[in-house]
A and B are shown apart, each in its own frame.
Chain A
Amino acid sequence: EVQLVESGGGVVRPGGSLRLSCAASGFTFDDYGMSWVRQAPGKGLEWVSGINWNGGSTGYADSVKGRFTISRDNAKNSLYLQMNSLRAEDTAFYYCARGWTSSGYKSYWDYWGQGNLVTVSS
């Protein structure tokens, strides 16, 4: 059974940093590209960042470019999102999602984690 379990969320002050993790199981992790998708409370879905199977290709939404960094450790079956210079508008549930191919983030996502809430507030 495919499972994606996010961790690392919480409350952080504006300008602060946080690192999200996603532990994957039930499939061959390095066969798939992965993404982070977020959802502000009561709002719609927004793609944040994606990475190909070996980390050699990454992409970011304009809203987070230069502040967030996506990475993966295939030996640990884990995906990460380092979030710096956080703003109030980054407050959202962050979902880890599996892409349909190995190649990157222009993808649909067939499996999603349960979501992890990040709250940016003073």
Chain B
Amino acid sequence: EIVLTQSPGTLSLSPGERATLSCRASQSVSYNYLAWYQQRPGQAPRFLIYGASSRATGIPDRFSGSGSGADFTLTISRLDPEDFALYYCQQYADSPPTFGQGTKVEIK
């Protein structure tokens, strides 16, 4: 199965700053079938990005995804207070679908 490794484990930033989250796969992810989710405490995951770089409906344009092959990035251009949360990447190219272990974006 494809193992996804996210870094860093925790990102400490201030509102208005830029956040850059990394997701590295153990092998190339076909068709860039890579998604990102946000999870706030006590809530279900929220779908953000699919196909590595396409934003889901209703997701603000401060969220952007990039990358290909085995290296992917989620960028939040200017952190809003509501953006401090956990973020997971997920591949759906291969079975079983797998998630990274998550990156926590916390207020500095």
Contact = CB atoms under 8 A, between A and B. Distances in A.
A107 interface: yes
Interface in A1-57: 35, 37, 44-47, 50
B63 interface: no
Interface residues of A, number: 23
A114 interface: yes
Contact of B47 (A44, A105, A111, A114): A111
Contact of A47 (B37, B97, B101): B97
A15 to B, nearest CB: 25
Contacts of A45: 37, 45, 88, 90, 99, 102
Interface of B: 33, 35, 37, 44-47, 50, 56, 88, 90, 92-102
Interface of A: 35, 37, 44-47, 50, 59, 61-62, 95, 100, 105-115
